[in-house]
Structure formats: structure tokens, C-alpha cells
Amino acid sequence: SFCGSGIRSMQFRTRLGSTSACRAADSDRSHDDILKTLNHGRSALRKLRCGVGATWLSLTIVCAAASLGLGEWLAYAEPFYHHSITAWRGVCIEVLFDLRIVLPLLAPLDDDLSFMRCVLAIEAGFFAFIRGRLLFHLCSDDSAVWSSLSAKTKVSSLAYLGRGCLAIAYLLLAMCQRTPWSMQRWVQLYPLVYALPDALQRLCMVFAGFTPWHDVDNLSLISQAVMIYVALRPQAIHSLQASLRRWMETFGATRAAAAVACLIGQVDPKDALRQARQRFRSIDVSSLTLDDLQSNSADPGLDKRAEPTRLGYCDAFVSHSWHDDAKAKWEALQAWRFGFRAKHGREPQIWFDKLCIDQRHIETDLRGLPIFLSGCKSLLILCGPTYLSRLWCIIEIFTYIMMGGNAADIEVALVRKAENTQKDMEAIIAGFTDFDVSRCDCFNPNDKARILTVIGAAFGTLGSFNGIVAKVLGQIQSENPTLVGMFSATEGGP
């Protein structure tokens, strides 16, 4: 009857409204969870910045105070002590001064341009003050200081002023760098620029006959040799930085959470979430074609095929390597699609980089990557022979887990060419069993530099990050039936 159909229609609308309300509530909870994770990351990064900066700057102050204290004591005590004792104290002063030069450069995190520029400006100002004071003294009109100096002292003074000008010029050029990774490269070489001319000057003074070899501060030369070695082989400093970051975790400065905060940059978490909600898009898998997987060439019109989507309503974030075979990826994606459709009775909505990133605002969309990942119900890995050698793929897996995703929600679809199945299988297995992030690469060198800067800021070394990612991959391997079956078949093979 009409009345009965009206009641059934009303019940249907009630159920539909209830379902929509539940989904809206779930979405709100998802937004709250994302914001909580981002705020936690920002807090961890702030603690890391303060802890690392305070540690190295405190050591700098200690070295500077010790250097000044020894200098004052030496000036007072020199008449009462043997020459060798005062010489040793002079060497200690120089070593402490060298440390005072280098330690502040370790205070900023790798991604902190402003703090790094501030430290470099202070260094340049310090050199300018010291050299300016000497120059003013030498050029003073009311004294014949310069004419009264010996040839050795004149040469030493000119070399000293020249080294200072070189250091100032280098520091100013380093400050002009526009990206954290390029500035880091300049900063890493600064000890070489500081120590090498000083060591060469001492040796040249010996060979020129101005200074007997037994009067050269050999320990100072050793100190400068260490600085040169550190500049050319910075692994020791990186290991020290990694140890400091591990210690900082006891104060809540979680490195993984800090890495997520580094990815979104200096944007406030609320603003980052707001921007990501506006820019989050997805596409129906049925509208994808094989041509879409053939290359990653940019096309500003491609993103129009994707549609705006609420966070939490996208079925899967598709992570893949553009270096894997396109046809094999297409077949793996279609197999996953048919399985999803059989289970849910509808086509899946996915986030696919080429179609869901606004090519006109790539940087903005990439900053939203952690939020886009957490806005998807699962992570679909199209795992081919090159997948675990691509740095962006590793970052996507790492970020998905760090943003609260579960390894059980990560689905793996194996990408293997029909004519090369066994070789591709061996490459995939090797990627899991012998993973090393230092061997990963990016299509765009700037992307690689940016990611390595994030890793350096949060973890100190690639090795520390490598250990965490290896654990994540091991968890994925043990949780995913496809990978379990693949490794079992390999271990049980002939």
C-alpha cells in the first residue's frame, strides 16, 4: 500500500541518515587522530631542536670559557713556570678555540635554515671582530707598531688576516644558500676551509725558514688534521649526532614523530590539515588506463580526472615505483581491483600520485603526504623488483606506519613480468632481506636531497633510519599473506 511504502521509505531514509552520521563521526575522529599525531610530531621535533641545539651550544660556551680562562691564567703564570708547561697550555687553548669554532655548527638540525644562518652569521661576526681588532691595532696612527715588527711577525699577521677574510667570505656564501641540503654541504666543508690554511701557513713558515720545526705546535697540527678529516669524512659526526638523538628520545623527542613533522615543514598542523582536506583527491580504479602507468611525465590537466574526497573515505593509497614494468603493474592493480570488488561489491577509490597530485602545486601537495596517507583506509604496495630501491616508496611506507597505520592494513600486490617471473621474485626478496636505504634513489635529485635532509634532521644518520625501516619491512613481511607465501615458497623450493 501507499502507506506501507511510505513507512519503508522513511525507514530507509532514517537508516541512510544514521549511516551518514556515523561516517561523519568517524571522519571527525579520523581528523582528530591526524591532528593529534601531527601535534605530537611537532612537539617531538621541537624537543629535538632544543635538546640538540642546547647541547652543542653549551659545549661551545664551556670551550670558550675554558679557552679564555686558560689564556688569562697563562698570561699571569708564564713567569713562574717552565716554558714547556706554558707551551702545552697554549696548545690546549688553540684546541679549545678550534672546538669553539666547530661545535656551534652542529647545533641546528639539518632542515633548520634560519637557525643555521644565525649560527653562520655569529661565526662571521666573531671572525670580523677579531681580525678587525688586530687590523686596527696594526694600522694605529699613534704608534709605529707595524714598522717595529719582525719579518716573521709581519708574514704571520698578514696570513692570519687573510685566513680570517677567507673564513668570513666562505661563511657569507654559505648563508646565501637557499636550500637546507646545499647549506649543509657548505657547513660540512667549513672545518676544512678553517683548518687547512692554518696548517699550510705553519708548514710554509717552517720551510721558509721563519720558524724552526721544534717551535711548531705539533698538537695544533694534529687538531687541524682531525678537523680536515672530519670535513672530508663526516660519518663520525653523524654517528655522534645519532647517539644524541637516541638519548633525546628519553625526553619524548621521538625521532620517527619528528621526521613526520619535518615532512610537513614549518606549516602549523592545523593549517596543514586544513590544506590537505581541501586538496585530498581520489580516483575510481575503473577509470585508470594502462597508459596512465606508462610514465610519470607531468600533465597539468591530469588531476582533473580525480575528484575531491573526504579524509578517511579513500580505500587505498597506491605506492609504486615508476621504474617497474607498467604492464606488470597494471595486471597486479587489476587483480587487486577484482578482489576488492568481489569483497565489497563496488569499485575501489584510490589515491594515485600521477592523477591526485596537483601538478601546478606539487610542493604543497607533497607537504600533505603524511595526511593523505592517513586519510586512506589502507596502503596498497605494488611491489616490483625496483620498489624497495626507490626513496619515495620507503618514505611512504614509513610515514603510513608513523601516522598510525597498521601493518595488517598494508596490502602487497607482487609486480612480476610474465617472461621474467623468477628473476623478479629474487629481486623482490633481496629487497626485503638486504634492504639498505643508502642504496635508494629518486628520479628527481632535489627530492632525494630533501628526503635525506629530513632523515638527517630526525635521525642523524642513514643507519639509524635504516634500522627502523628494516623493522617495519619485517613486520609487513610477517603480516602480509602474499609475502609470507612468497618467502615460504622460496625457502621450500628445490
User: Is residue 476 within 8 Å of residue 409, measured between CB atoms?
Assistant: no
Residue 73 confidence (pLDDT): 62
Stretch 421-429: mean pLDDT: 88
Residue 79 confidence (pLDDT): 55
Examine the pLDDT at 192 and tell me if it is beyond 50: yes
Stretch 328-355: mean pLDDT: 94
pLDDT-derived band at 5 (thresholds 50, 70, 90) equals: very low
Residue 91 confidence (pLDDT): 62
The x, y and z cell numbers of residue 31, run together, are 581528523
Q: Which amino acid is at 291?
A: D
> Which one, of 15, 73, 34, lies nearest residue 372 by Cα?
34
Examine the pLDDT at 399 and tell me if it is beyond 50: yes
User: pTM (2 decimals)?
Assistant: 0.78
Calculate the CA dihedral of residues 193, 194, 195, 200 and round it to 10 degrees.
70
pLDDT-derived band at 218 (thresholds 50, 70, 90) equals: low
Q: Residues of the chain with pLDDT > 70: what percent?
A: 81
User: Is residue 451 within 8 Å of residue 367, measured between CB atoms?
Assistant: no
pLDDT-derived band at 443 (thresholds 50, 70, 90) equals: confident
User: Is residue 38 within 8 Å of residue 370, measured between CB atoms?
Assistant: yes
pLDDT for 235-284, tens place per residue? Answer: 778 788 888 887 877 665 577 888 888 888 888 889 989 988 888 999 99
- Could you tell me which residues come within 8 angstroms of residue 296 by beta carbon, excluding any fewer than 6 positions away? 322, 353, 354, 443
Examine the pLDDT at 3 and tell me if it is beyond 70: no
The x, y and z cell numbers of residue 254, run together, are 621521538
Stretch 62-74: mean pLDDT: 71
Q: Categorise residue 95: left if φ over 0, alpha if ψ from -120 to 50, beta otherwise.
A: alpha
Mean pLDDT of the chain: 81
Tell me how far apart the alpha carbons of residues 251 and 41 are, in angstroms, rounded to a whole number.
Answer: 13
Examine the pLDDT at 22 and tell me if it is beyond 80: no
Residue 71 confidence (pLDDT): 60
pLDDT-derived band at 9 (thresholds 50, 70, 90) equals: very low
User: Is residue 388 within 8 Å of residue 432, measured between CB atoms?
Assistant: yes
Q: Counting beta carbons within 10 angstroms of the beta carbon of residue 84, is it exposed (0 to 12), middle (13 to 18) or buried (19 or more)? A: exposed
Residue 2 confidence (pLDDT): 33
pLDDT for 298-327, tens place per residue? Answer: 666 666 788 999 998 999 999 999 999 999
Residue 467 confidence (pLDDT): 87
C-alpha distance from residue 444 to each of 56, 381, 461 (Å): 33, 21, 21
The x, y and z cell numbers of residue 272, run together, are 596543514
- If you average pLDDT over each of 37-46, 149-158, 246-255, 316-325, which comes out highest? 316-325
Residue 11 confidence (pLDDT): 41
Examine the pLDDT at 111 and tell me if it is beyond 80: yes
| Grid cell 632481506 in the structure block, residue | 433
> Which one, of 230, 172, 169, 171, lies nearest residue 196 by Cα?
230
Stretch 467-478: mean pLDDT: 87
Residue 88 confidence (pLDDT): 57
Strand order of the β-sheet with 281-284 is 307-308, 281-284, 349-351, 316-320, 379-383, 410-414
Tell me how far apart the alpha carbons of residues 477 and 473 are, in angstroms, rounded to a whole number.
Answer: 6
Stretch 181-203: mean pLDDT: 86
Q: Which residues of 307-341 are buried (b: 16+ CB within 10 A; e: fewer)?
A: eebebbbbbbbbbbbbebbbebbbbbbeebbeebe
213 or 270, higher pLDDT: 270
- Could you tell me which residues come within 8 angstroms of residue 130 by beta carbon, excluding any fewer than 6 positions away? 164
Residue 168 confidence (pLDDT): 93
β-pairing, 349-351 with 281-284? Answer: antiparallel
Rg (CA), the chain: 30
- 282 DSSP β-pair partners: 307
> Which one, of 229, 228, 206, lies nearest residue 217 by Cα?
206
pLDDT-derived band at 159 (thresholds 50, 70, 90) equals: confident
pLDDT-derived band at 147 (thresholds 50, 70, 90) equals: confident
Cα–Cα–Cα angle for 357, 362, 368, rounded to 5 degrees? 70
Stretch 409-417: mean pLDDT: 91
